[in-house]
Structure 1
Amino acid sequence: MNTPKNAPCSPFTDGKADRSPVRVGALVPLSPPGWVEAGRHLLAGLDLAVREANDAGGIGGRPLELVVRDTAADPERAAAAVEELTDLGVAALVGEYHSVVARAAATRADALGVPFLCSSAVLDALTEGTTEWVARVAPVQSRGWRLYADFLLASGRKRIALATQPSVYWASGARVLRDRLAVHGGTVVELDAHALTPEALCDALVAHEATALLLLVGHPEPAVSLVKAVRSDGRLAELLIGAPAGQPEFAGWVARLGGAGAGVPFLRYLPAHFGPLAEHVEKQLEGDLGEAPSFVAFEGWDTVTVLVEALRSHGTDRAAIAASWPHLQVEGTRGPIGFSRTPETGVRQWTWAPVQIADRDPAAPGRFRVLHTD
């Protein structure tokens, strides 16, 4: 009997179970100028969830296989990786940390018709228009950065300076902050971190009578040099340094700055308290990484766990996976994960991951303080 052309794939071939791997492409920044530390944590989370899925029987008895490609924070390289992985027959794509890179990957995935579950990138407009192929675990930038602006206002900081570099991501964040602060009488001045030396930037902060400096710049440089310059300038002793993009989350921050890197509030996407699942994952990730996992590692684990549910419940066909996004309800490390449409983005979005504002404790820079949870 001939099998109809469009019939669903059978798990058996010639009477034997299909044991071929279900391949999933992973986009991760693993070399400079990508944020390698973030990429390492993201990959650790992805890897752990794959191992645990395979320990639990894989996808209908088929092993899950992660095919990793280093994006190096390069949008063109990411788009090329999407094409390569699509040609290799991956069922779906996961990962990416850098927003501009994720946008390039999402655009290409949409054009090629391959599902992409984005782990960590927050830029609101991940695609130009509405798509069924892309979903996202991380919250949108506008949500977190508005909360950060409210935190500044609540702490009495209304004269805000932004140290900036050219980037769609930084420009988007600056716009969110400016719009939110303006409603409540706040002011924002942008200082070009490329054109100004750290010392000249400190002079500008004094001239503008800034009460907070936000680092909308790359890590480690120029962020580290700017923090060192501000901390050593007696005129700026009362100035709050902030890093909404999350630079102080990683151990490399305190390794480079020590106590000077403490007391710098940043956004992270963790709940106020961990449940048993998150505690289990945290312990496993700490063993894999050799250090405490960042929120990015949890994003990686949640991403693969969601995709595993899609594969098990809807099959490995790409269109079926994309169609599953609005029907999924998965218990993640940071709460129940489901996807919906939102005004901010054309992709299927988890609404929402929890948001924290935290910093490193000046009394013990290796320890975090949670300043606000939403």
Structure 2
Amino acid sequence: MDAYDRDAAGAQQGAEPESGPVGEGPVRIGGLAPLSPPGWIEAGRHLVAGLELAVAEVNRAGGIGGRPLELVVRDTAADPQRAVAAVDELAGLGVAALVGEYHSVVARSVAARADALRLPFLCTSAVLDALTEQPTEWVARLAPPQSRGWRVFADFLVDAGHRRIAVVAQPSVYWAAGTRILREHLATRGGTLVELDADALDPAAVCDRLAEQRVTAALLLVGLPAPAVPIVRAVRRDPRLAEVVLGAPAGQPEFAEWAAALGADGAAVPFLRYLPEQLGPLGLRVAAALRERLAAAPSFVAYEGYDAIHVLAEALRTHGTERAQVAGAWPRVAVAGTRGTVRFARTPGGSVWQWPDAPIQLADRDPAGPEGFRVRYVG
């Protein structure tokens, strides 16, 4: 049992399943994040830091009608089955809503189970377009859908003069969806996509194929640290590929693990993140508080966690703490967040309530100092 499970165990004792918070006790929110392998632990830590900071602020401001907001966190470990079990447990603890999750495949399982249980779920960070199979009133999302963000990435590449682009991908629903989006959008702009199997090729073979195919950009749709780190090192040291631009749409270079493993080799690798070009006063204040909690610069995932709690708090205050009341609030809330005013709407082809104005930018680590970032493109 990890620290997060120990903290929540006391809340479970004596709890009975219920449809949502009642009485004068705390209003519970269930938090889901990857906090152990094979999950992306650093993303999970940032997400929980944002959730916890916002809960503390809500409680300092009087909570929900005088009742404290209580966050009960469960580790999904990037495992859909473990996540579904956590949803069932949290539902039994009487949480008013669920919040969080970083990994798209896990979030999809969470969304399906939450919909079946009629339990509101505010997804912070997962981007897979098909978050649920059918339209649902119970699920909302802060992060932009993958199709929107990855098309922005494709536009960035084409605008920079790249027409022959490779993806080096591992098998997964998420990577396959990203590859399809890139292929289809590049085709509309005169680009060509070459697909390489990262599991079938070692780093040296990847370099050989990139050189043979005469690509000018290669996107890494792979896990961190392996095989991302050895592939980047191999490409950087291959003189045939000196002019090839590396990219990582899923955001691996955002986190300190990337910089620690790659140093200067990890600079100038563009990635997607969901921040505005400039943070406003609220964003800057929250950035300072998150930096203190994390002892590191906060990623966009931490801001997503922070904003999500304030959205839920507004829904709980203005519409009630019963689950149906929270879900009914999705199209009615408007909350000034760290990255803009959050409002939800139905978007074409979407199955969940979506923040349509979520900011998108491409950034990379600055070659002049890999601890810093450069904004390369705003979508």
Same fold (TM over 0.5): yes
TM-superposed CA distance for 1:60, in Å, is: 0.8
Alpha-carbon separation, structure 2, partners of 1:151 and 1:353: 18
Shift in alpha-carbon separation, 1:202–1:115, aligned structure 2, 3 A: same
Residue-by-residue CA offset, 1:84-110 (whole Å, 9 max, x unaligned): 110111000000000000000000000
Q: What is residue 5 of structure 1 aligned with on the other side? A: none
Q: What is residue 159 of structure 1 aligned with on the other side? A: 164
Alpha-carbon separation, structure 2, partners of 1:314 and 1:254: 44
Q: What is residue 47 of structure 1 aligned with on the other side? A: 52
Q: What is residue 355 of structure 2 aligned with on the other side? A: 350
Q: What is residue 250 of structure 1 aligned with on the other side? A: 255
The answer on whether the counterparts of 2:21 and 2:28 sit within 8 Å (CA) in structure 1 is: no
Q: Is 2:313 the counterpart of 1:308? A: yes
4+ residue runs of structure 1 moved beyond 2 angstroms?
A: none
Q: Is 2:179 the counterpart of 1:174? A: yes
Q: Which of these residues, 18, 26, 30, is aligned with residue 35 of structure 2?
A: 30
Q: Residue 160 of structure 1 aligns to which amino acid in structure 2?
A: I
Q: What is residue 152 of structure 2 aligned with on the other side? A: 147
Shift in alpha-carbon separation, 1:152–1:96, aligned structure 2, 3 A: same
The answer on whether the counterparts of 1:140 and 1:344 sit within 8 Å (CA) in structure 2 is: no
Q: Residue 270 of structure 2 aligns to which amino acid in structure 1?
A: P
Alpha-carbon separation, structure 2, partners of 1:220 and 1:108: 31
Alpha-carbon separation, structure 2, partners of 1:21 and 1:221: 42
Q: What is residue 267 of structure 1 aligned with on the other side? A: 272
Alpha-carbon separation, structure 2, partners of 1:295 and 1:304: 15
Q: Residue 278 of structure 2 aligns to which amino acid in structure 1?
A: H
TM-score of the superposed pair, with normalisation by structure 1: 0.95
Alpha-carbon separation, structure 2, partners of 1:340 and 1:40: 29
Alpha-carbon separation, structure 1, partners of 2:60 and 2:257: 33
TM-superposed CA distance for 1:19, in Å, is: 3.7
The answer on whether the counterparts of 1:19 and 1:63 sit within 8 Å (CA) in structure 2 is: no
Alpha-carbon separation, structure 1, partners of 2:59 and 2:24: 12
Q: What is residue 6 of structure 1 aligned with on the other side? A: none
Alpha-carbon separation, structure 2, partners of 1:219 and 1:119: 21
Q: Residue 300 of structure 2 aligns to which amino acid in structure 1?
A: F
Q: Residue 337 of structure 1 aligns to which amino acid in structure 2?
A: V
Q: What is residue 118 of structure 1 aligned with on the other side? A: 123
Alpha-carbon separation, structure 1, partners of 2:349 and 2:236: 37
Alpha-carbon separation, structure 2, partners of 1:210 and 1:72: 35
Q: Residue 184 of structure 1 aligns to which amino acid in structure 2?
A: R
Q: Which runs of 5+ in 2 are unaligned?
A: 1-19
Residue-by-residue CA offset, 1:36-77 (whole Å, 9 max, x unaligned): 000000000000000000000011111111110000001111
Residue-by-residue CA offset, 1:90-137 (whole Å, 9 max, x unaligned): 000000000000000000000010000000000011000100000001
Q: What is residue 81 of structure 1 aligned with on the other side? A: 86
Residue-by-residue CA offset, 1:227-280 (whole Å, 9 max, x unaligned): 011001111000000001000001111110000000000000001111111011
Q: Which of these residues, 93, 106, 113, is aligned with residue 108 of structure 1?
A: 113
Say which SS state the counterpart of residue 48 (structure 2) adopts. helix
Q: Is 2:248 the counterpart of 1:226? A: no
The answer on whether the counterparts of 2:21 and 2:27 sit within 8 Å (CA) in structure 1 is: no
Q: Which of these residues, 32, 46, 65, is aligned with residue 60 of structure 1?
A: 65
Q: What is residue 290 of structure 2 aligned with on the other side? A: 285
Alpha-carbon separation, structure 2, partners of 1:92 and 1:147: 32
Q: Residue 285 of structure 2 aligns to which amino acid in structure 1?
A: H
Alpha-carbon separation, structure 2, partners of 1:353 and 1:250: 20
Alpha-carbon separation, structure 2, partners of 1:64 and 1:79: 23
Identity of aligned residues (%): 66
Say which SS state the counterpart of residue 126 (structure 1) adopts. coil
Alpha-carbon separation, structure 1, partners of 2:225 and 2:24: 44
Q: Which of these residues, 131, 139, 150, is aligned with residue 134 of structure 1?
A: 139
Give the length in aligned residue pairs: 361
The answer on whether the counterparts of 1:98 and 1:120 sit within 8 Å (CA) in structure 2 is: yes
**Which aligned pairs between 1:86-105 and structure 2 lie closer than 5 A?**
86-105=91-110
Alpha-carbon separation, structure 1, partners of 2:280 and 2:191: 38
TM-superposed CA distance for 1:220, in Å, is: 1.4
Q: Is 2:167 the counterpart of 1:194? A: no
Alpha-carbon separation, structure 2, partners of 1:277 and 1:58: 19
Alpha-carbon separation, structure 2, partners of 1:153 and 1:118: 31
Q: Residue 162 of structure 2 aligns to which amino acid in structure 1?
A: R
Say which SS state the counterpart of residue 111 (structure 2) adopts. helix
Alpha-carbon separation, structure 1, partners of 2:21 and 2:142: 31
Q: Is 2:349 the counterpart of 1:367? A: no
TM-superposed CA distance for 1:10, in Å, is: 11
The answer on whether the counterparts of 1:117 and 1:137 sit within 8 Å (CA) in structure 2 is: yes
The answer on whether the counterparts of 1:271 and 1:354 sit within 8 Å (CA) in structure 2 is: yes
